[in-house]
Structure 1
Amino acid sequence: MWLRLLIILGSLSLFPVPAAARDLVLLLHSESNPSAWTQDVATGLTAELNDSADVRQIFLQARSMDEDAFDDVFERLSQELAGVTPLAVVANGETAFAFARKYGDDLFPGAAVIFCSMGRPDTRVLTQSGNCTGIPMEFDLKGSVDLIFSMCPGINLVVAIADASHSATPLMEDVRLAMQQYTDRAQIMFPGFEPGDDNGLDVKTLAETLSSVPSSGAVLFLGFAEDREGNPVSDEELSGLFRSHGTSPIFVVRDAWPDSGVLGGWMISGRTIGRDAARLVTRIGQGEAVQEMLPEPTRPELRFDGTALTRFGLKAPPGAEITNQPVRHVVDESALPVSGLAWVFGLAALVALLYGIRRYRA
């Protein structure tokens, strides 16, 4: 009997035990297509989870935030997500968060919703959203303004660029307050939001604004996710505008346009946001109640583009991270002695030739 039991146990050990199914996290992007920002958020999220959960990315591909556009996306995702039961949904951006709030109970019932890549929502919105928490972006706009005048002390104009979204209004107000101590040195302008020019910007006027900033000015780019008609503007389109029309240092508050010519500054990184979201997912997976998780902001880091620093002759403050260092052309000095010797031998040959001709004539 014991022998039979040992044989049975031994045979069972030959068959591998199936691994427990890992939790699923949906990363819902507001954008229609991948970008440097969405890639950074996904990279940070995946790396911090460290294979403890699977991550599936979904791009909304919504034309706008109106009801009809959302309904079309809902119909598409109803088929794609049939039978899918995620642990959490990371809503990357305002559009994704609005969509998750409206359709979450139908598409992913019971899943926690984590908002990111956006400002802090109204308390009432969070209360009505139920199983929801998040990581709001918290910009250091006073630090950004101080940084501009620290690095560019000779400027007399700051051009602050924003879109017409409701989230841009408090940002512009914070910039106005931060500029009060510099009004004796420089003027602040908000193109599209000035008396007589208060209709906002579209892509064309944004390009014209960037190219018209004088060398004595600097740009503080607060964000431009949509034009004045409410049409979405992609990060790729903005990168192209920065490359083709940026004539002055462009300070940004979000690290979303690498290698586009923007200078940098106090920026929030997509990878940092992804890592912060992953930590919330881990806590949710460990059984912590989502309603008890207070939104904790993602804070900016001081980072600059090395090529842009060189282009404008600027120096980064101590401790700042420098990316995209300019390529330095190194001269191969080992070739110099060879060319030098060639000149010496050539000169010696010429002297010898002249000496020989002189003796021959003599």
Structure 2
Amino acid sequence: MRLFCITTIIVVLQWSGLLAPLNIAAGAESLDKNRNVLLLNSYNQKMSWVENIVQGVEDILHPEQNNLTLHIENMDTKVFFSAEYFESFRNYLQVKYQKTSFSLILLSDNNAYDFIRTHRKTLFPGVPVSFCGVNDFEQNQLAGLQDFTGVAELFSARQTVELALKIHPETTELFIINDYLKTGRAWAKDIDEDLQGLSDTIRIRHSGNLSIKELQDEISRLGPTALILLGVFFADRDGLYYTYERTGEILSKVSKVPVYCLLEFNIGSGIVGGHVISGYYQGKTMAEIGKKILSGEDADSIPVILQGSNRYVFDYKQLSRFGIDEKLLPGNSVIINRPFSFYQEYKTEVLTVLFFICALLLTIIGLILNIGRRKRAEKALQESEIRFRQLANATWEAIIVHSKGMFFHGNDPFYSLFGYQKGELDNKQILPIILPPESVGDVVKRIEQGILDPYETVAIRKNGEKFPVEIRVREMEYEERDVRMAAIRDLSGRKRIEQRLAQSQKLEAIGTLAGGIAHDFNNILSAIIGYCELASLEAIPGTKIKKYLGEMHKAGNRAKELVQQILTFARKSIDEKEPVQVSQVVVEALKLLRASLPTSISIQQHLNSNAQVLGETTKIHQVLMNLCTNAGKAMKDGGTLTVSLDEEYLDQEFISRNLGYTTGNHIKLSVKDTGVGIPPEDLTKIFDPFFTTRPKEEGTGLGLSVVHGIVRDCHGFITVWSEPGKGCDFSVYLPVADVVASHHTILADELPGGSERILLVDDETMLVNMMHDLLQKLGYEVTGFTSALEALHTFSKSPDDFDLVISDMTMPIMSGDTLAGELLSVRPDIPIILNTGFTDKITEDEALKIGIKRFIMKPVEINKLAPAIREVLAGE
């Protein structure tokens, strides 16, 4: 009985946290001894952001407990940021640590990250790196670097604003505050990108480059239906610097409307809160990765964490000030500054004391009524065992309990997963039964070494089927003996998803390759089509040479369309919708299909409409080819493929009954087959990505999902009817276009020209020569360069010597958009035309925003380039 009393007291103290539980496996999980770790911070450690990062690192690594020496260096780049300073800092580190061997480098924020990426090879060669707090992280930044990983800093502007709009549905304006330092401007741009689409419902505007007094005045004038989003504000226009905490206090003091933020340390000084970046969790996540590296894991095998380190944090005082109900906040939100409650503050201690008193009373009663106590204990044990079995059977995981490999308990999911009956495995060595021979040795080794970390292996069912599992183990005392409880999770579903993801990544790689091929091919086509047009201008009308050149030009345009199809496959084409006559696409596609489908399949076509839709010819072609190819695979034993094209007016009743799209005239493209049909249970999933009922060598399951995406992009919809054994009927509805496509072709003698002076830049000598002759033929005075730097140098010396600049986009050393920016800085009114074979660096909208007048895709035909030049020179 005295042993029971002592045990009860120890359990109570452990449960309350007053006595730490014993960890018999602690030595197995500790890090190696006598190792050095360098923590390099971009800023001053007195900043709360850096303090929180350091705290997060120490809470994970526990340097003193794990025999680690943590060296902390602070670059203080908020104040010092010059090439001489960085060089001196590099020399400082080299001298200070020339005799120190590091096992790990930890980096916080961009400046430290960039510094080590540049100097690691000379300062700390081969030392693995884990970083945090890096803005604008791109995976290609790690190209050529080994043992470099970490956690990126991604702010949650959209999550914060969407939650704020949910809390304040009357909002009509969002006022975004950032300073005009490099980081502030970058944040403003990234916030705009993150909030794309919200400007359709509310007005969004930025603070601009203001002094702190002007900014306070602007805030005080905001109406009652406005909200404020504070990004990063470290200095005002006058060069006055503020701590982040002080910034929140200054701005919120004059605000009559709620202020939300994206950084945790802004909260507590008048800010409501938000889905914020936490320095502590950034540091903690970075240290967790570093701990894996110190434990022997290869840093290159650990992917950079791109999300998951932010959390919802709110200030109770501001919630009360603006009458915000906590029920509107996410369930995992952290609330600070909540009024003191003795019970809430000391809830654990209060419950511990009450429990301890009750335990003592029960112990006294047990001493007096020992026999009755024993009976009640036996009954409680039986009930506890029943509850334990109920809980164990309610889980999704298979659970077994064994002692030295001898099985004596399993839950219902275990028997269901492995196919055994209860009692069939009692008192048997369980590992050789549920694991194949090749897996048993590794598991036994883990047991002997006392390793409790989760691990993956292969299990085997009673019927001999092998399948992947994850096993998590816990040591415990059960029925007065030391046992191991193992939770086994079936990974078959997850492995299938991983295989599909790998297939998707292969397709993405093919798309990237296709985009690169298209870029080079467009440059070649530019020369072919350009010289063909030059020759055609010189040829005598009516001669065979003129005819041959015309055929050559047609062939070049067909090649151009082929490149467009390649870019469409790569999903990198510029979306330029134009009127498309669907009947012509159907006729061309069916000619191709006739050659690829078996002769046992007859093709019938009923084209009853010549109407046009707004879209892209290649994508409409892709829709028809995918639908017809699927139909052909469904008729392996032969059948009839019927393609119909009709025009229907869809009234409001039809639209509301189906999908809720707009009423009006629609083209109905129907693809019907007499194949095997689709089972009813699969009809709702056929448009899901990767869903397929065929073997993997016959398709990826992407065809119908691509069709669905193209149809939706054209503001249409698709329906399907099918019965097993009776075939399928897919009907695509596309709105009829109101515009009529122009078929007028500009003749050679109609080409507009001029006498202006043009600066021509392209890294391909062949293209420069061709464009030079072509533009000179139109009367222009042309100066051509194959080097962007030489062109910039010439322009800078005499900017008024040129009336127009035509530049390629993709060039070595300096790209076309960078060149355009430099030219505009010299002469802001110079008109610029940018052309490219393919690029994903800049879009047409982005080009126009920086001052470029036209963004044209190669190959450029003379009848399109000539009018474009005149329009740009005229200022249109």
Which aligned pairs between 1:93-172 and structure 2 lie closer than 5 A? 93-164=109-180, 165=182, 167-168=186-187, 170-172=189-191
Q: 1:90 is matched by which residue type in structure 2? A: L
Specify which of 308, 312, 322 is matched with residue 312 of structure 1: 322
Identical aligned residues as a percent: 22
Which aligned pairs between 1:51-66 and structure 2 lie closer than 5 A? 51-52=65-66, 53-62=68-77, 63-66=79-82
Bigger proportion of residues as strand: 2
Residues 36-45 or 230-239, more deviating:
230-239
Which aligned pairs between 1:1-362 and structure 2 lie closer than 5 A? 21-50=33-62, 51-52=65-66, 53-62=68-77, 63-164=79-180, 165=182, 167-168=186-187, 170-182=189-201, 186-192=202-208, 200-201=209-210, 205-224=214-233, 234-242=243-251, 244-299=253-308, 300-316=310-326, 317-319=329-331, 320-326=333-339
Name the Cα RMSD after superposition: 3.0
Secondary structure (helix, strand or coil) at the match of 1:273 reads helix
Deviation (angstroms), 1:130: 3.6
Output the CA distance in 1 between the equivalents of 2:218 and 2:127.
44
Secondary structure (helix, strand or coil) at the match of 2:319 reads helix
Task: String of CA shifts for 1:30-74, please: whole Å, max 9, x gaps.
Answer: 212422221221111111223333433221123344312312333
Output the CA distance in 1 between the equivalents of 2:47 and 2:264.
12
Task: String of CA shifts for 1:108-159, please: whole Å, max 9, x gaps.
Answer: 3322222211235233321144431120123333222211111122222111
Is the CA contact 1:25–1:88 (under 8 Å) kept in the aligned structure 2?
yes
Secondary structure (helix, strand or coil) at the match of 1:41 reads helix
Q: 1:48 is matched by which residue type in structure 2? A: I
Is the CA contact 1:160–1:189 (under 8 Å) kept in the aligned structure 2?
yes
Q: Partner of 1:338 in structure 2?
A: none
Q: 1:93 is matched by which residue type in structure 2? A: D
Task: String of CA shifts for 1:210-248, please: whole Å, max 9, x gaps.
Answer: 444444321112223566799976435534534654543
Q: 2:190 is matched by which residue type in structure 1? A: L
Structure 1 residues 238 and 22: CA distance shift in structure 2, 3 A: farther
Output the CA distance in 1 between the equivalents of 2:150 and 2:237.
28
Structure 1 residues 231 and 315: CA distance shift in structure 2, 3 A: same
Q: 1:286 is matched by which residue type in structure 2? A: S
Residues 237-246 or 70-79, more deviating:
237-246
Secondary structure (helix, strand or coil) at the match of 2:263 reads coil
Is the CA contact 2:151–2:285 (under 8 Å) kept in the aligned structure 1?
yes
Please tell me whether Structure 1 or Structure 2 has the larger radius of gyration of its CA atoms: 2
Output the CA distance in 2 between the equivalents of 1:208 and 1:68.
39
Q: 1:57 is matched by which residue type in structure 2? A: I
Q: Which fold has the larger relative contact order, with Cα–Cα distance below 8 Å and residues 6 or more apart in sequence? A: 1
Task: String of CA shifts for 1:55-112, please: whole Å, max 9, x gaps.
Answer: 3322112334431231233344344434333222221111121222223333333222
Structure 1 regions of 5+ residues with no counterpart?
A: 1-18, 193-199, 329-362
Output the CA distance in 2 between the equivalents of 1:161 and 1:28.
29
Output the CA distance in 2 between the equivalents of 1:203 and 1:160.
15
Structure 1 residues 20 and 151: CA distance shift in structure 2, 3 A: closer
Output the CA distance in 2 between the equivalents of 1:232 and 1:128.
38
Output the CA distance in 1 between the equivalents of 2:130 and 2:219.
35
Q: 1:23 is matched by which residue type in structure 2? A: R
Task: String of CA shifts for 1:157-177, please: whole Å, max 9, x gaps.
Answer: 111123453642552223441
Q: 1:107 is matched by which residue type in structure 2? A: L
